Structure 1
């Protein structure tokens, strides 16, 4: 391939990538008040709570009221479940009142939904911290996959610790946090971008 063709090919690829990155950075989830969906094409590590809080436009504590619907996705063995959730406290974003939260579960050999293999099945009456984003077109909250974005939780005023699933990046910053509410308020306050996944 000639040098001018190589330069033209590289320049074309750079324009396509730059356009895609720009589009992702400016496309909003709907409505003027929405935040951008994502600012990078790079997948980030969400295994620490400060990283998760940084990546999530919405972080809230909620109580699952009931399943609203369930449907198979286009992925074999996967079902989307939508839940009615009462928001107890928004730590980040504008969740309030009763909202719809979408989670993914897998289908066991007997055809029933299962949370094995990283799926999540919230239970009515139980509380969770949901971390993810709201889709502006259908007003449904989509937590990050698996247990990262749908974390079982005690009540807001209850003690919270590692046994409850907390995964702080800097445990020393949580010294004064004794309750679920204090813990997640601190995680959002100390939010930082996680490293790229490799």
Structure 2
């Protein structure tokens, strides 16, 4: 499984392009989780855009998209057997949806402290997992800790991701059983 330094951990750069027309932001100006989920649904339905993503047999590829209301969006290709490793998106809310193939998400149903810790012991009831076949996605709130995987042995997956505000940082974790350890904090300059 590969892990790399980007918003959703792609490993090889692609050109930035504008995506589908951004959805209008909420009345307050900032897009809501519902706006972000609507954006990933509409973008994933754009077959020409999905087909335009170059796929690499070994590393993830990505294209930066224009998201709604100043959000940060990405189209990501996942070779068989790749994943993000455990991470969060700090103070950003977000959404993602599988456009092709199937992804699996492992997540924690617990809010972690935002700072001041290196190791936490998780309780038995915090693990969640969901399969996200093509057309399925989800939104999430701030500090959502998860890992996303393409477990297929032979098929690429493609997904659309969006975050608001644009990612201020990503915290990466390692996990051994019930122990979660903060390993690294990345900032935008680390992946852009």
Q: Which TM-score band (shorter chain)?
A: under 0.3
Structure with more relative contact order (C-alpha pairs < 8 Å, separation 6 or more): 2
More strand by share: 2
Tell me the TM-score normalized by structure 1. Answer: 0.25
